[in-house]
């Protein structure tokens, strides 16, 4: 019964968003939109419509907690879940160094295009001793170092992967590229971004922060939390 009421409320809010966007487009200068949100800009005000994003974020937290409970936080089981869901998982030697050559990090990698995609399709598959695909487009993948799997780091990447599967914004190629610039490049690169690119970057940062916060909360509720917290990836966005 509660699920029905919740779905009914969300459907009303979604309808209101569509109505407001159509009405406000005539009065505001521009509308920014991503996979699940809209932001309407005017000269003196702005309005954000993100019912679907918030709904998916709630679903993300609930689903990940349920899956972790089912598999007792075991990273190998989570990796198997990712594979069964259709995302390719590669475990390779020197993963961090290989990915750094194309400004990527070990973990969840969204769909790519161009030479970066070709590199991923060839080099990563070659290192993993998988069939090589010569293509300028690559599918989302999870790339991990070949060796012992760290529990908390795997859960962090699983959280990001599940957010991507739910179509939460911030995982498009341009947003992820700018996210790497945000982490490792000079501020001048960020200053050159358009308003739309900055808003996409904001979403990419939000997904990273949400994954880190999820791990922090999990670690705090786990025995030996101080040691666990030290293992959380330090290269992510600041909390």
Give the 3-state secondary structure of the chain: CHHHHHHHHHHHHHHHHHHHHHHHCCCCCEEEECCCCEEEECCCCEEEECHHHHHHHHHHHHHHHHHHHHCCCCHHHHHHHHHHCCCEEEEECCHHHHHHCCCCCCEEECCEEHHHHHHHHHHHHHHCCCCCCCCCEECCEEEEECCCCCHHHHHHHHHHHHHHHCCCCCCCHHHHHHHHHHHHCCHHHHHCCCHHHHHHHHHHHHHHHHHHHHHHHHHHCCCCHHHHHHHCCCCCCCC
CB atoms closer than 10 angstroms to residue 141: 21
pLDDT tens digit sequence for 67-88: 999 999 999 999 999 999 999 9
Pick the residue with more confidence: 11 or 94? 94
* Confidence grade of residue 1 (pLDDT, cut at 50, 70, 90): very low
* Model confidence pLDDT, tens digit, residues 21-54: 555 455 445 666 776 766 655 555 455 567 788 8
Angle between helices 51-70 and 151-165 (to 10 degrees): 140
pTM equals: 0.78
Domain boundaries, the chain: 1-49, 50-231
pLDDT of residue 235: 47
């Amino acid at each position: 019964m509660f699920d029905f009421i919740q779905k009914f409320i969300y459907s009303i809010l979604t309808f209101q968003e569509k109505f407001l966007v159509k009405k406000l487009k005539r009065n505001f200068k521009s509308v920014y939109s991503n996979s699940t949100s809209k932001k309407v800009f005017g000269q003196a005000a702005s309005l954000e419509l993100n019912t679907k994003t918030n709904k998916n974020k709630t679903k993300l937290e609930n689903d990940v907690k349920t899956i972790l409970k089912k598999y007792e936080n075991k990273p190998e089981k989570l990796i198997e879940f990712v594979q069964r869901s259709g995302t390719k998982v590669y475990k390779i030697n020197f993963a961090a160094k290989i990915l750094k050559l194309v400004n990527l990090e070990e973990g969840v990698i969204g769909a790519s295009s161009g030479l970066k995609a070709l590199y991923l399709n060839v080099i990563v598959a070659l290192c993993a001793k998988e069939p090589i695909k010569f293509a300028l487009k690559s599918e989302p993948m999870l790339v991990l170092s070949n060796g012992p799997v760290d529990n908390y780091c795997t859960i962090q990447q699983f959280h990001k992967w599940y957010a991507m599967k739910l179509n939460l914004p911030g995982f498009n190629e341009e947003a992820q590229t700018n996210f790497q610039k945000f982490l490792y490049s000079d501020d001048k690169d960020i200053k050159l971004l358009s308003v739309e690119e900055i808003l996409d970057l904001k979403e990419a940062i939000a997904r990273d922060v949400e994954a880190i916060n999820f791990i922090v909360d999990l670690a705090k509720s786990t025995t030996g939390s101080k040691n666990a917290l030290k293992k959380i990836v330090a290269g992510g966005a600041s909390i």
